[in-house]
Amino acid sequence: MSLEVATYVNDLQPVNPPSTDPTNQGDDHLRLIKQVLQNQFKNASRQGAIPTTSVISATGSVAQTLDGGTILVSTASGAVTLTLPGLAAGDAGWTCYLLKTSTDVNPVLIKPVAGNIVSGQYTVTQARRCIPGIISKIIWTGASWYITRVTGLPIGAIVEFWGTSIPTGYEWPNGQTLATVATNYPEYNAVYGSGATPDLRGYTSICLDNLGGAAAGRLPNGFISGSTLGAVGGVDGAGLVTANIPAHAHNVYFGDPGHTHNFINNGTAMAGVYTDQSQCFQYLQSGGQGCQSYYTTIQSSGTGCYIGSAPGTNNSTTTSVGSGSIVSHLQPSIMMAKIMVVE
């Protein structure tokens, strides 16, 4: 029987060659099979394994034969550390996939036999993966290990969150210090050098005035240090004092209701009649006598005049206004939680 035409494995006919074919046609069949295999597995220059799945729940090593396979990790019993195989330059392209299957807060830690692993853009001795249900790809380049991160957000990114329970794999930016940061949070430690987190409780945020280098000068009054990361300032309300209000004047009123005086006769004239002291004084200067006891006086009397803040008042001050109550400084706001990316 003539040789079939085949390019890929699916083209081969399992019934060929029939037992009735001459033995010398076997060489043709072998050559065909070899060509088909090379077509099917192009550039196959090293050992390859059929992708398999490994289920792990305890600390251990990843076998080299897991190339192309998937590791399903449960950390329900505690943190799990996986040590990657020791590979050579010829093993470049070795790949496996990691998926955490439990929803607890225990991490999976992935590390090489020696040296570092690049987790996204961060070079660490071991990578942390705690967020469940998202696959990370681990690949050997022939010289270095790389592992993809489960989120594209940078370490330390703050995300607004509509909830009160922290999602697995994130942390609260509430001023806490992450425990055993170098071991349990290697990416965070690589970026910040400690486990300290910002305390955002009750704060809204303002973009740095010197974002990217040059200050814009939009916070010139000193109520907050606009070019200092982590600087705080502001209150939700405050009571005003005199120094906080604009310079201003108040209207005042002057009133005179009019009045009269009574005249009092204090004596009788001894010589001549004079109606006031000035006439008597002139009389005496001219040589007259006996005028000293005859003059009139004006009785003392209140004027009834007033100065006040409104007609009819008489307190010599302006009327008191205001209550001293606190003034709100809040913009329209809604309370939200915030979570921080740590892996």
Q: Whole-angstrom Cα distance, residue 44 to residue 93?
A: 11
Q: Judge whether 156 and 195 are in contact, CB under 8 Å.
A: no
- What the block records as the tokens of 69 is 């396979």
Res 146 pLDDT > 60? yes
Q: Judge whether 216 and 209 are in contact, CB under 8 Å.
A: yes
> pLDDT band at residue 288, thresholds of 50, 70 and 90?
low
Domain boundaries, the chain: 9-40, 53-147, 260-301
Task: Write down the mean pLDDT value for the chain.
Answer: 86
Q: Whole-angstrom Cα distance, residue 232 to residue 200?
A: 10
Domain topology for 53-147:
Jelly Rolls (2.60.120)
SS3 80: strand
> pLDDT band at residue 268, thresholds of 50, 70 and 90?
very low
Q: Judge whether 198 and 171 are in contact, CB under 8 Å.
A: no
Q: Whole-angstrom Cα distance, residue 138 to residue 149?
A: 10
> pLDDT band at residue 292, thresholds of 50, 70 and 90?
very low
- What the block records as the tokens of 62 is 């990843």
- What the block records as the tokens of 299 is 């009785």
Predicted pLDDT of residue 115 = 96
33-89 per-position pLDDT tens digit: 999 999 988 877 777 777 899 999 999 999 999 999 999 999 999 999 999 999 999
Q: Tokens 């590979």 sit at which residue?
A: 87
Burial 185-194 (b: 16+ CB within 10 A, else e): bbbbbbebee
User: Which of 1-15, 188-202, 215-229 has the lowest average pLDDT?
Assistant: 1-15
Mean pLDDT within 87-104: 96
Please give the single-letter amino acid code of residue 144. Answer: S
Mean pLDDT within 267-292: 54
Burial 108-132 (b: 16+ CB within 10 A, else e): bbbbbeeebbbbbebebebbbbbbb
Q: Are strands 136-140 and 306-308 parallel, antiparallel or unpaired?
A: unpaired
Mean pLDDT within 286-309: 62
Mean pLDDT within 316-340: 86
Mean pLDDT within 249-270: 64
Res 194 pLDDT > 60? yes
100-136 per-position pLDDT tens digit: 999 999 999 999 999 999 999 999 999 999 999 999 9
- Exposure of 256 by Cβ count < 10 A (0-12 exposed, 13-18 middle, 19+ buried)? exposed
Res 323 pLDDT > 70? yes
